[in-house]
Structure 1
Amino acid sequence: MHIRSVIIGGIVASLVIGMWEMIVEAVLPGGAGFFGPVVAIGATVVRDLQGSSNPIPFDGVAFILGLAGHMMNSVVLAAVFGLVASRFLHEGGKLVAAGVIYGIAVWAAMWFVVIPLVDPLMLNLNGIVFLIGHMMWGGALGLLWSRLAPHAQEHGSPASA
């Protein structure tokens, strides 16, 4: 596994979904608010925020924990993607498509299993926006993996230039 690809792919994909979630939740009627998605992630640790309604109130500690937690999760999930994708896929388009499918799988696992058990405040977020965000996350991850991973150099991607 190419650690540089995992870290860069995970962090950049995390920024893609994070910006999407924050902007859309800020403009949606009844949305969680601009900082809501990040604070909701931090509410996994800052438990007094559980039960809050939208817009989710800002909490500095939860915000910092949310940023760190989201990036960490994204890098770990990027590593899983890299382990699987590097064995089977080497073409950019297929990696992007696989990333989108992986994003949907991550969304389903998070939305229906992990979040209700660990951080119910996250269910205040719009589920469709969350799904689209995870598809964008996976697509970005697949695109970055196609450009940064070691196989990219073997197949003449721009990363080899």
Structure 2
Amino acid sequence: MDRTPLTQTGADALRAELTRLKKTERPRIVAAIEEARAHGDLKENAEYHAAKEEQGFNEGRIAEIEGKIGSAQIIDVTQAGAQANGRIIFGATVDLADEDSGEELTYQIVGEDEADIKQGKLSFASPIARALIGKSEGDVVDVDVPSGKRTLEIVEVRYI
């Protein structure tokens, strides 16, 4: 089985979502099904069918999260960083400068399930992350992105 890298923060977020789905959402949906069932004829009971559909989605997400946690390789970024010798690895937080626009960027390289560009979290499989992994502070990388080519200077690498 392939192990999927995940930061400790990402694993904690998945576990929190799993707990919420099992302990809060599941009982709420079961109660909604029972209430809808009490209304009688199930064939034309929209509330019942909506609750059953929601139950299916909830149970599917629970199974998906359990699978992800089961196949996860949780990386402690602070520990891994000690052996990285300043190189960019999974979990590293990287400060970059776009050499063309002067824009300053900060990204953390994370697992695919944790990626959220608005929060500065890049999937390790993204073009920028793939170009950065293995590089060090002071290196300059050219990255092909959907909007064209970007030249990025690595200003600082942190393992937090």
TM over 0.5: no
Q: Which is bigger in relative contact order (C-alpha 8 A, separation at least 6)?
A: 1
Query: If each structure's helix is expressed as a fraction of its own residues, which one has the higher value?
Result: 1
Find the structure with the greater CA-based Rg: 2
TM-score, normalization: structure 1? 0.24
